[in-house]
Amino acid sequence: MQRRDFLKLSAASALTAALPIGGAHAADAIELPMYYPVAVGGPIAKIMDGYAAAFHQANPDVRIRPIYTGSYQDTTIKALTALRGGGNSAPKMAVALAVDIFTYYDQNVLVAADDLAKGDKAWLDGFYPAFLANSRMADKTWSVPFQRSTPVLYWNKAAFKAAGLDPERAPADWNEMQDYARRLTRAHNAKSITDWGVQIPSSGFPYWLFQGLAIENGQARLASVDGTATHFDSPETIGALEYMVGLARKNGVMPSGIINWGTTPQDFFKGRCAMMWTTTGNLTNVRKHAPFPFGVGMLPKHKRYGAPTGGGNLYVFNNTTTEERAAALRFIRWVTAPEQAADWGMQTGYVATSPAAWNTGALKKYVAGFPQAAVARDQLQYAEPELSTHENQRVTKVFNDALEAALTGQKSSAAALHEAQSKADAILRRYRA
């Protein structure tokens, strides 16, 4: 491997010496296959290819080859399978879920971002700390924030007006949200409520939005930093779940049972729910499709403000040579630089990852014309890392199952969460020192 690269390198330098023409570089460019998922609407693939081309133009000796690999989950499946198989077709980099850090770490396939940056601490410190939190473990930073999101509250200003509420103000805290929701809930016929006050979607991965409630209730982290312990049955977590279950089952201001993640924006557009919690990644979608004026607010506070972060980071794998690592770092620094991060945020709806990006002229102008876009940024100071542990998917599933059991009324919040905690303990025990 190394010898071949040495030969390649000497061949390249020989060529450079013989033919000092720009075009000759391209043929010997370092090629870096990069897997990436598409998790939101919009022409992500086109943007990604455009970035790779623009980067190659500025850096003729490196060629990033973006390879679309499906959902986040598909991307991790394909990357780990290809890395196990080895060979030249395996990816050298990937965009993957920030919370999959333990999955990759436990498979021993990563190069730490610190090691890539070779002591340039200032660069990594330029990102929002809330986004970096999910990259850190074992005293190192393993991935670089890229396509990040956080949940916010969207509200229908027309419905607020109709219910006699101030259409320009989001509910500030839990009590106010419940009170607003009560006033916004309407029945279309005697048997059925069809216009709900609020929807907090709970299908597939209920833990993410629920985490917002848990943080607001004082449980800042659901798992320890080293990913070996969870806090699923703390009084704060249980209290948060009781509030969420109560919205539906006690107060009747949210549909009971599981609320579908995918149809919730549609419910919002059709006036079937006046407030919805969902990702900032939906901002462009809502802006395009909502047939009424809408507002975007921070998640309402309780004991404190709070929201989890979400989304994907850039990872570099350890099947890379020294030269490839340097080239990967160049691309990562280029694509996360303020101008580029601002462009990515505006084109996709993801939250630009550094304060410097929000200070660029382009993003300032965008926010001036569309102030809703800045809510996610302002909420970041209260944000906490997303739930992430060793055997992340298995532990998260245990937690999701418990939330679903409580939301559908099969178990009490406390019973479901105590059970989840003991299951998580059983899974994580062997990772504890």
Site of interaction with another protein (CB under 8 A) = 73, 77, 80, 103, 106-109, 188-192, 194, 196, 202-204, 255-260, 262-263, 266-267, 270, 272, 391, 393-394, 397, 400-402, 404-405, 407-408, 410
Closest C-alpha to 111, from 32, 5, 54, 52: 32
Q: Which residue number, 89 or 192, has a Cβ lying nearer to another protein?
A: 192
Strand 273-279 versus strand 193-199 pairing type:
parallel
Q: Where are the beta strands (DSSP E) in 185-324?
A: 186-187, 193-199, 273-279, 294-297, 307-308, 310-317
Q: Which residue number, 242 or 267, has a Cβ lying nearer to another protein?
A: 267
Instruction: Name the minimum Å distance from CB 204 to another protein.
Output: 5
| Residue 408: burial class (beta carbons within 10 Å; 0-12, 13-18, 19+) | middle
Q: What is the DSSP letter of 138?
A: T
Q: Which residue number, 47 or 258, has a Cβ lying nearer to another protein?
A: 258
Q: Which residue number, 19 or 187, has a Cβ lying nearer to another protein?
A: 187
Instruction: Name the minimum Å distance from CB 265 to another protein.
Output: 12
Q: Please answer whether residues 157 and 293 qualify as being in contact, where contact means their C-beta atoms are separated by less than 8 angstroms.
A: yes
Q: Which residue number, 174 or 268, has a Cβ lying nearer to another protein?
A: 268
Q: Which residue number, 262 or 369, has a Cβ lying nearer to another protein?
A: 262
Instruction: Name the minimum Å distance from CB 182 to another protein.
Output: 18
Which segments of 250-336 does DSSP mark as H helices, in order?
A: 264-269, 283-289, 322-336
How many angstroms separate the CA atoms of 220 and 177, rounded? 21
Cα–Cα distance list, 32 to 36, 49, 316, 382 (Å): 13, 13, 10, 36
Cα–Cα distance list, 206 to 200, 336, 397 (Å): 9, 30, 10
Instruction: Name the minimum Å distance from CB 30 to another protein.
Output: 27
State how far Cα 134 lies from the chain centre.
10
Instruction: Name the minimum Å distance from CB 416 to another protein.
Output: 8
The length of the chain is 433
Q: Which residue number, 375 or 405, has a Cβ lying nearer to another protein?
A: 405
Instruction: Name the minimum Å distance from CB 351 to another protein.
Output: 26
How many angstroms separate the CA atoms of 5 and 413, rounded? 58
Closest C-alpha to 69, from 333, 312, 319: 312
Neighbours of 149 (CB within 10 A): 25
Q: Which residue number, 59 or 203, has a Cβ lying nearer to another protein?
A: 203
Instruction: Name the minimum Å distance from CB 68 to another protein.
Output: 17
Instruction: Name the minimum Å distance from CB 237 to another protein.
Output: 17
Instruction: Name the minimum Å distance from CB 164 to another protein.
Output: 23
SS3 state of residue 31:
strand
How many angstroms separate the CA atoms of 134 and 4, rounded? 36
